[in-house]
């Protein structure tokens, strides 16, 4: 690719209004404006802003290298556009189509501008095509990164929500766990639980694994690490939710959970915790 001819840049600048109208018409025909998540007015403003950035960058910048400073504003615009589309729930095709749908209006403009000079027309058509392809690919990459950031943040939020630390009684905390326990989740569990132990001054922590589907060697190791960290904080730990299937699995695997107090359900674990705290629950009256 190379710098566009000044005649091409002038033609785009002078024909901005009909070019934008044709571009918006293409977007409408392609179904890009049928979604209620984005309005035609918003897309029109974005199209106008991008076209002016494109003209400004093309006047001084070599389209062969979008990393150059001349394209900084265009890159920033496309990255912002991709991020907003990702947050709105659009896919990469919808986002890239915003750029690629500009090809036909520009091609039509170039044909009318260089209708008597086919050699220059061919050269400029190729330059514009490569430029929009490069900008479109940059948009897709920016969208994918934004989407990955959204997914990662959602996973972190779900992970935090799936490991709530509940205060059952003064000095007694419970952590009901649901789903698979892996290294990343174990780290979140330990951080959340240890932080709550410090905040509340609790002396007993109950880890309920009723919602953990399976217990293997790796899961047992994660539990042991968590229990060890809790003990280092000066608190005791009780593991509840040891179902018959899990108990058999632990025995068959030869896992050593010696020194760890286990209970079949959360109610039994709470009763033991209250007993250790010198408390008892009796029926009123």
Residue 280 token pair: 């008892």
* CATH (residue range 166-276): 3.30.750.24
Query: Can you give the residue ranges of every domain in the chain?
Result: 6-157, 166-276
Q: Which residues are bridge partners to 178 per DSSP? A: 211
Write the pLDDT tens digit of every residue in 99-140. 999 999 999 999 999 999 999 999 999 989 988 998 999 999
Across 225-237, average pLDDT: 89
The reply to whether the predicted model has a pTM over 0.85 is no
Write the pLDDT tens digit of every residue in 153-200. 877 666 666 668 888 889 999 988 887 777 777 777 788 888 899 999
Residue 155 token pair: 């996973």
Helix pair angle (40-60, 6-14), 10° resolution? 160
Architecture of the structural domain at 6-157: Orthogonal Bundle (1.10)
Question: Degrees (nearest 5) of the Cα angle 63, 86, 47?
Answer: 45
Phi and psi torsions of 72, nearest 5°:
-60, -45
Write the pLDDT tens digit of every residue in 193-219. 888 999 999 999 999 988 888 777 777
240: Cβ–Cβ under 8 A, 6 or more apart, which residues? 206, 207, 208, 209, 210, 262, 263, 264, 265, 266, 268, 269
Phi and psi torsions of 31, nearest 5°:
85, 10
Instruction: Give me the chain's average pLDDT, please.
Output: 86
């Amino acid at each position: 690719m190379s710098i566009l001819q000044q005649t091409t840049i002038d033609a785009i600048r002078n024909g901005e209004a009909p070019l934008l109208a044709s571009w918006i018409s293409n977007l409408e025909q392609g179904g890009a404006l049928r979604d209620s998540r984005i309005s035609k007015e918003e897309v029109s403003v974005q199209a106008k802003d991008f076209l002016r950035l494109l003209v400004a960058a093309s006047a001084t910048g070599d389209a062969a290298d979008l990393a150059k400073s001349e394209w900084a504003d265009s890159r920033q615009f496309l990255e912002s556009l991709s991020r907003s589309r990702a947050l709105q729930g659009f896919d990469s095709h919808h986002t890239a189509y915003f750029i690629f749908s500009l090809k036909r209006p520009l091609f039509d403009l170039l044909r009318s501008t260089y209708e008597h000079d086919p050699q220059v027309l061919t050269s400029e058509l190729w330059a514009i095509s490569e430029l929009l392809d490069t900008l479109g690919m940059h948009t897709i990459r920016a969208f994918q990164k934004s989407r990955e950031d959204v997914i990662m943040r959602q996973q972190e939020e779900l992970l935090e929500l799936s490991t709530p630390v509940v205060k059952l009684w003064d000095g007694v905390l419970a952590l009901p766990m649901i789903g698979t326990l892996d290294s990343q989740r174990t780290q979140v569990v330990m951080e959340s639980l240890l932080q709550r132990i410090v905040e509340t001054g609790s002396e007993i922590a109950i880890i309920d694994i009723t919602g953990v589907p399976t217990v293997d060697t790796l899961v047992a190791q994660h539990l042991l690490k968590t229990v060890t960290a809790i003990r280092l904080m000066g608190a005791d730990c009780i593991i509840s939710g040891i179902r018959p299937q899990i108990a058999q699995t632990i025995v068959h695997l030869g896992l050593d959970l010696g020194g760890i107090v286990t209970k079949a359900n959360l109610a039994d674990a709470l009763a033991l915790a209250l007993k250790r705290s010198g408390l008892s629950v009796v029926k009123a009256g």
